[in-house]
Structure 1
Amino acid sequence: MRYEEFESFLDEDLSWRKKEVSELFLLAKDNIDKETLRKSLILLLYSHWEGYIKKASKLYIKYISEKKIKINLLSTNFTAITLKSQISKCIDESANLTLANELTFMASYIKKQERKFKININPDNDFENQVIDTHSNLKPKVFKNIIKILGLSYKSAIETREHYIDSHLLSNRNSISHGNPFDHNAQDGFSLTLTDIEKLKKIVFSIIDNFRDELLDYADGEFYKVINNEQRLIYIQKKEEELENIFVDIES
């Protein structure tokens, strides 16, 4: 996969998702008294939040895999991906862990370091969760784990707003999807108005846009390579400040 193809895949997948949310938002504006439409907006916003993060993550891993780079030249998260089955086995056998098991694991680790990173992953298969698993509930904690798997950096700008995302996107989505009425009394500064939903939409898509940009910049700058770690750290700080400024503008 060429960089241009990777960029095109990410942009096309994000474009139709934004279009759907915008269309439903306009419909809700024209029918301001219809709470059903506003509840549907929460459901649709969540579905595209989870859907895009999952698919974009798989596309990034596929992009790196097709580069056929030696594992010892890549950041450590890619070693962890290739050793996932062995790590799981060690955890399952932890009660009976012996030096022989540890030596077997280390031998596998050393052997794989000289191999090229290669993994079969299908971005279009929603049921494939061997590497990227949202657990059908992409809360910030799960998103943070995915960020680690990809070798990116989880931003403090998101961390300080985890409660907002959990309360207004995740909790409401779970409640609505289970057929429960919207409980206005249980909300913390969120009343299901279009103003509240628009703010939530801006926060969510700001995170998605930032995520999309990082995947492309990591691919273009080859920040997935150990040799480029210094440049990667400088880049991380820049993106951290950028996202925080965006959030501040939205919240003001």
Structure 2
Amino acid sequence: MNLNELQDFIDEELQWRKKEIERLWSSMDYFIDDDLGKLHDSIVKAIILLIYSHWEGFIKKTGKVYFHHISSLNIKTNELSDNFQSFICKYSLHSFISNSSPDKKLWKISDINNFRQDIENRINSNFSINIDLAKEKSKSIIDAQDNLNTSIFKKISTELGLHIYISYESEIDLGLIDNFSTIMKNKTFLHQVLDHTLLNCRNHIAHGNKNDQNKILEHHKLQYLRDLTYLLMNQFRDDILEFSEQQFFLKINQLKKEQYITQKEIEISNNILNLTNSYQQSNIVDISLSAAESIGIDSNIQPSIFSRIKVFFQKLNI
């Protein structure tokens, strides 16, 4: 897979996933009033499940394609960055452990020498991993463990040689969690978006639990969650493509990689800040509209229920 093919594949992979989310999203506003509240809640639940599935699916598929691309370049492993060297050494380690006695006292010097020789051979050979991109459920290369939370996302990023940005590790209150001030640990940006919100809601729904107002997110918060998830997916794509084009996977280019990361740190921080400010402003507007409705001002005249159902099914057939 050459560079152009990689770029086209990843762009298409992200595009169709976003389109699927937006197609379902566009139907939500037609069922937001009390008469169709239960149907609206069902669509919200479906959207949450869809956002998570495409979050996990995109990270896994893109990570595998990146490994496949590196493997196709026929580069010596010792010329690659440390993550690729360590990754290839895992095969030697797994082989040694599986063929050795559980009792370390019984390990033979000859076996350890063979282990060392195997690592040396792999490091001095071309980087090569057998990846079947058609096997969606394969977990031999990128394993999200069906639960792509903060810890697993960071593990995958490290294996790919990508950077965990400072903003991802910040503990600024995003406004996603009601009890943020009482949480003693795991308060980072990634934990707030992934663990405490996206996965928390997804698991609640997927396990068949009863509707909960903290798990069936209101419109603005759901949009905020969607946009923050998009931010993570977009940056993951950008990093993979930039690392591939500039060959940041080579040890010789690590200084250029650090320069790119420094530039991106500022950009990502600003993007998060803009999304947070936008969400806070939308909340103020939403509160104002609610106040207007409480004194009898009709701020948004909705079409008839029949009309909304008709348009809904028309959109699903797009």
Task: Flag whether TM exceeds 0.5 (same fold).
Answer: yes
Q: Does 1:163 align with 2:163?
A: no
Cα 1:91/1:245, change in 2 over 3 Å = farther
Letter of the 2:189 counterpart: R
Question: CA–CA distance in 2 between the matches of 1:148 and 1:94?
Answer: 30
Structure 2 residue 251 is the aligned partner of structure 1 residue 217:
no
CA distance in 1, matches of 2:66, 2:11: 13
Determine whether 1:139 maps to 2:149.
yes
Q: 1:96 aligns with which of 77, 100, 103?
A: 103
Of the two, which has the highest radius of gyration? Answer: 2
Q: In structure 1, the residue corresponding to 2:261 is in which secondary structure? A: helix
Q: Residue 172 of structure 1 contacts residue 182 of structure 1 at CA under 8 Å; is this kept in 2?
A: no
| CA–CA distance in structure 1, aligned partners of residues 20 and 62 of structure 2 | 18
Q: Which residue of 2 aligns with 1:41?
A: 47
Residue of structure 2 equivalent to 1:178: 207
Q: What residue in structure 2 maps to residue 30 of structure 1?
A: 30
Q: State the Cα distance separating 1:239 from its structure 2 match.
A: 1.7
TM-score after normalising by structure 2: 0.74
Residues 53-85 of structure 1 show CA distances to partners (whole Å, capped at 9, x for unaligned) of: 000000000001000100110012112222223
Instruction: Give me the TM-score of the superposition, normalised by structure 1.
Output: 0.93
Moved over 6 A (4+): none
Does residue 51 of the first structure (1) align with residue 57 of the second (2)?
yes
Letter in 2 for 1:209: N
1:83 is paired with a residue whose SS is helix
- Percent identical among aligned pairs is 33
Deviations 1:164-196 (A, max 9, x none): 121110011011011112322xx4xx7611101
Count of aligned positions: 248
How far 1:5 sits from its partner (Å)? 0.7
Mind listing any 5+ residue stretches in structure 1 that lack a counterpart? none
Tell me the amino acid that sits aligned with residue 37 of structure 1: I
Distance in 2 between the 1:143 and 1:167 partners?
A: 14
Unaligned runs of 5+ residues in structure 2 are: 170-187, 278-318
Which residue in the other structure is 1:237 paired with? 262
Mean CA deviation greater in 95-104 or 27-36 = 95-104
Return closer, same or farther for 1:118/1:180 CA change in 2, 3 Å cut-off.
same
How far, CA to CA, are the matches of 1:191 and 1:176 in structure 2? 9
Once residues 162 and 268 of structure 2 are traced to their aligned partners in structure 1, the CA distance between those partners, rounded to angstroms, is: 14
How do residues 73-112 of structure 1 correspond to structure 2 at under 5 angstroms? 73-90=79-96, 95-97=102-104, 98=107, 99-112=109-122
Greater displacement, 76-85 / 215-224: 76-85
> Structure 1 stretch 6-15 or stretch 93-102: which is displaced more?
93-102
**1:28-63 Cα distance to aligned partner (Å, 9 max, x none):** 122223101011110000000000000000000000
Which stretch has the larger CA shift, 123-132 or 67-76?
123-132
Q: Does 1:119 align with 2:129?
A: yes
Alignment of 1:1-12 (within 5 A): 1-12=1-12
Residue 226 of structure 1 pairs with residue 236 of structure 2? no
RMSD: 1.7
